[in-house]
Amino acid sequence: MKIKTTTFPNYGTIETQLSSETIDIFWKLIDEAKNNPVNMNSILAGQISSSLRLNMNSPELKDFCQQIIPKLVNTYIETFKSIPVKYNNANRENLTLELEDLWVNFQKEHEFNPIHDHNGAFSFVIWMKIPTSSKEQNASLISSNSGTKGLISNFSFVYTDILGNIGNFVYAMEKNIEGYMVMFPSRLHHQVFPFYDNQDSRVSISGNLGIVKK
């Protein structure tokens, strides 16, 4: 008896550790945004103390926009053989993906972003500063008395499987994730859980890639 298994096609994420040089550029952009703030809180889904627009047209982002992003997008397409947007069925020779939004979030104790998605074709998050430990946060009393064990303080993608069950794919927020970038389809829902007993700010950068004609 021959038995055959079939896995239905699906989408995932793509990840990379950014170089210290690239991270330094983003810290410089964050400092510039603090000096000339353009508030982004009004477009956020959640409760975050401060969210500022970053200068995505900075010449210092040239390598990030022209080298890093295209490499990640091409690797994504090669890996998953498709992308979940109309771009997939269009004439790619006349279209390209460009950075259309870029901002920094400063998340404080008790603050959160509920389940949401983004505009664009692809989105990404870069964790710049993680003042807490997921292991310590989830060993706390508030975690042990909660039905969300393993989620407190963390970043989570939310998706449904082929049977309609809702699942979470969690990125644990530890110090070693600083400088880490995750790119994902913009319509993939995700959320950020609150952390506790820490007065410092978690700093993360988010961005959206849109489809434009060449």
Instruction: Classify residue 30: in a domain, yes or no.
Output: yes
* pLDDT number for residue 137: 93
Domain that holds residue 186: 14-213
* pLDDT number for residue 89: 53
**pTM summary value:** 0.91
Cross-sheet strand order for the sheet of 155-160: 113-116, 190-192, 155-160, 166-171
- Residues 6 or more apart whose CB falls under 8 angstroms from that of 13 comprise 157, 169, 182, 183, 184, 188
* pLDDT number for residue 135: 94
Instruction: Classify residue 55: in a domain, yes or no.
Output: yes
Residue environment code for 39-50, b if the CB has 16+ CB neighbours within 10 A, otherwise e: ebeeeeebebeb
The 3-class SS string of the chain reads: CCCCCCCCCCCCCEEEECCHHHHHHHHHHHHHHHHCCCECHHHCCCECCEEEECCCCCHHHHHHHHHHHHHHHHHHHHHHCCCCCHHHHCCHHHEEEEEEEEEEEEECCCCEEEEECCCCCEEEEEEEECCCCHHHHCCCHHHHCCCCCCCCCCEEEEEECCCCCEEEEEECCCHHHCCEEEEEECCCCEEECCCCCCCCCEEEEEEEEEEEEC
Instruction: Classify residue 176: in a domain, yes or no.
Output: yes
Judge whether residue 96 has pLDDT over 80: no
Instruction: Classify residue 8: in a domain, yes or no.
Output: no
* pLDDT number for residue 134: 96
Q: How many folded domains does the chain comprise?
A: 1
User: 126-178 pLDDT, tens per residue?
Assistant: 999 999 999 999 998 887 777 777 899 999 999 998 899 999 999 999 999 99
Instruction: Classify residue 61: in a domain, yes or no.
Output: yes
What's 108's domain CATH number? 2.60.120.620
First and final C-alpha spacing in the chain: 54
User: 41-92 pLDDT, tens per residue?
Assistant: 887 778 898 999 999 999 999 999 999 999 998 898 888 876 666 555 555 5
* 162-167-171 Cα angle (round to 5): 135
Cα distance between residue 33 and residue 50, in whole Å: 11
Instruction: Classify residue 3: in a domain, yes or no.
Output: no
For all residues of the chain together, what is the average pLDDT? Answer: 90
